[in-house]
Chain A
Amino acid sequence: MNSTVILQQLVNGISLGSLYGLVAIGYTMVYGVIRLINFAHGDIMMVGMYFAFTGVAMMFMPWWAAFLLSMIATALLGVIIDRIAYKPLRNASRISALITAIGVSFFLENLFLVVYGGVPKAFPVPSVFGGAINIHGVIFPNIAIITPIVAMIFLGILLVLLHKTKYGMAMRALSLDMETVRIMGVNVDLIISLVFAIGSFLAALGGIFWAMRYPAINPLIGIMPGLKAFAAAVLGGIGSVAGAAVGGFIIGISEILIVALFPALAGYKDAFAFLFLIFVLLFKPTGIMGEDLERGRF
């Protein structure tokens, strides 16, 4: 292991981590407001990939238009899923909502299996994201540079929205006490829809960047990244947006370093991400940046 290799592995880890972070933010947003682990989140990420794929490869749109439309369509889908599947269960036990989320996950996976077939599709990567820069032997693929920047920009926008706008205030208030907020005359359902829209929008964004980095997409592609992002969200402290980003970086970097330092254990790297999560939770049950779970704040 020389310094070039170590630097290279760090670059790899940061770019993978920022992908996890993007997806984890959506998990955390939804959990923070309605206390639901939306297990369909990874599949919503997959839907974002397929929408973008359809736009570029089947309708021949320019890539930026296809990506933007995909994110908007996925955000709408998130809202629709909430209205159909989760809203009727708003006052039911958490476990019912969780099981419903798993049902939604299976539904999305199988719907896309029927529509697009099971064979992996090649995701068209725009040339802007294709190349790589070589700095003293360390290779920075363009996508690996762009992803963390985009993740940081959206994290910033989200934090501003949460802390500087009326809607953000409503979201933070909802996460503390839904009933009181409703009495105050706030349209609770609208705010929750907005949360789902933001979470799904970010999942689609994460999905599109994921597909550009690993351009083979299939309807079950969202499962593993979704689980990892969930681990990242819990690790960072579920309910904390900045924590989700931090958790994503930790999972991404540790995953790459496991393979780099112990090549023989590479087959078990997924297990390490979850082992790591278990250890952190043993010592700090609320995650790294998490507040007390029952008083969730962003």
Chain B
Amino acid sequence: MKRLLSSLVAVLVAVSFLASASLAKEIKVGVVWPMTGLIAAFGQSAWKGAKLAQSMEPTVKGGCKIHLILLDNKGMKVETANAVSKLITENHVKAIIGAISSSNTLAGAPIAEKNHIPMLTSSATNPLVTKGKKYISRVCFIDPFQGEVAARYIYNTLHLKKAAVMIEKDQDYSIGLAHAFMKAFKKLGGKIVAIEFFQSTDQDYSAQVADLKNKNPQIIYMPSYYQEISLFARQARQYGLNQPIMAGDGAEADALLKIGGKAVNGLTFTTHYDVHAAATPLAKKFIALFRKKYHEDPDAMAALGADAYFVLANAINKAGGCKATPDKINYWIRHTKNFKGVTGVITINPKTGNAIKSAVIRKVENGKFVYVTTVNP
């Protein structure tokens, strides 16, 4: 009897769900981003970008609205895995955008992969994120490229030969980018004179600073996030470690300037785009609308967040709009070709799910981010 009841309930639930799905004039898309926690500035920026992109292109072919369901992963691995599960099993989303950091995306990706739901990340740059997976793609470049750009800039442009590296032990992004940088830097003929380790929740870097002062590098490469970088820079300057610091795209947030103050002046970093070097018509339109709505320039995270939305909306359209299935959406995400997005022209490799894009080098000058140069792959 019990069994009969439970199967009846299951049938009822399935029927009601099917009925609601056919009636609904919307396509559900999950968004998993850090709205709180250490890297909240990134999630909030990306969400601003994605929301604006949605207001520019709210519907797909067949007149369905794209309905974004945002879940906060707090910048944590476990929370990301839970959010992805919840979106798939409870909200029945057709696709997921997220997460921001590589380690978080890596935590959620296997779940999306197993359920055959396409997951598109705006800014996870570690190569492992998409490796061996069919349903995970990204609209950003990958770290082997970013690390090489940094190494070439330090060696060829700044003419510095001795570098130290600060590695965040619990962030895949930091480990991957540091190793990519070291490999490229050694290949060019440079020397790594010190490798220091720390972890995300760390606030005290005085021990690492004392050691670095002793080893005396010409430049410190710190592929980490804005809070860690700004606290490290402050302590370094306080203890008289005045060598230049270079970082990756994790440095770019307004909070870096606010927390770092004078200590981050002169900091250089590789990133995805520069508002003054934006070239596509969509970028120009997006930037104008963004300024009007938020009274500020969109940063790389906002632009990438918008691109994740635009690329996904484009894929849903090609997959049949209202009738799109997750598998078809995934096919068209992976076959994105010469899409003129906010951060430039996006082509995703169908085999790997990685985007091939140029990188931009920016610098902190008098409390502002300024454009240095663009490096093409």
Residues of A within 8 A of B (CB): 1-2, 4-5, 8-9, 12, 16, 113, 117-122, 132, 134, 139, 141, 210, 213-216, 218-220, 224, 255-257, 259-260, 263-267, 269-270
> Is B144 at the interface (CB under 8 A from chain A)?
no
Verify B198–A218 contact, CB threshold 8 A: no
Return chain A residues, CB-CB under 8 Å to B44: 117-119
Verify A118–B36 contact, CB threshold 8 A: yes
Given A267-B199, A270-B201, do A215 and B208 touch, yes or no (CB 8 Å)?
no
Verify A218–B207 contact, CB threshold 8 A: no
Q: Which of B197, B206, B231, B238 interacts with A267 by CB under 8 Å?
A: B197
> Is B63 at the interface (CB under 8 A from chain A)?
no
Verify B204–A16 contact, CB threshold 8 A: yes
Listed by A's residue number, 28 A-B pairs whose Cβ atoms lie within 8 Å are: A4-B214, A12-B207, A12-B210, A117-B36, A118-B34, A118-B36, A118-B37, A120-B38, A120-B255, A120-B259, A121-B258, A122-B255, A122-B258, A139-B238, A141-B238, A141-B239, A210-B203, A213-B203, A214-B231, A216-B231, A216-B259, A218-B38, A220-B36, A224-B201, A257-B207, A266-B208, A269-B199, A270-B201
Rounded to whole angstroms, the CA-CA distance of A256 and B210 in the bound complex is 10
Rounded to whole angstroms, the CA-CA distance of A210 and B207 in the bound complex is 17
Rounded to whole angstroms, the CA-CA distance of A274 and B213 in the bound complex is 29
Return chain A residues, CB-CB under 8 Å to B211: 5, 259-260, 263
Return chain B residues, CB-CB under 8 Å to A121: 258
Return chain A residues, CB-CB under 8 Å to B170: 267
Q: B169's closest neighbor in chain A, by CB?
A: A267
Verify A134–B240 contact, CB threshold 8 A: yes
- Is the interface on chain B under 10, 10 to 19, 20 to 34, or 35 or more residues? 35 or more
> Is B196 at the interface (CB under 8 A from chain A)?
yes
Verify A132–B37 contact, CB threshold 8 A: no
Verify A220–B238 contact, CB threshold 8 A: no
Return chain A residues, CB-CB under 8 Å to B41: 119-120
Return chain B residues, CB-CB under 8 Å to A224: 201
Verify A215–B207 contact, CB threshold 8 A: no
Verify A260–B210 contact, CB threshold 8 A: yes
Rounded to whole angstroms, the CA-CA distance of A263 and B193 in the bound complex is 13
Verify B206–A16 contact, CB threshold 8 A: yes
CB distance from A125 to the nearest CB of B (A): 9
Rounded to whole angstroms, the CA-CA distance of A1 and B198 in the bound complex is 19
Rounded to whole angstroms, the CA-CA distance of A113 and B106 in the bound complex is 26
Return chain A residues, CB-CB under 8 Å to B203: 210, 213-214, 216
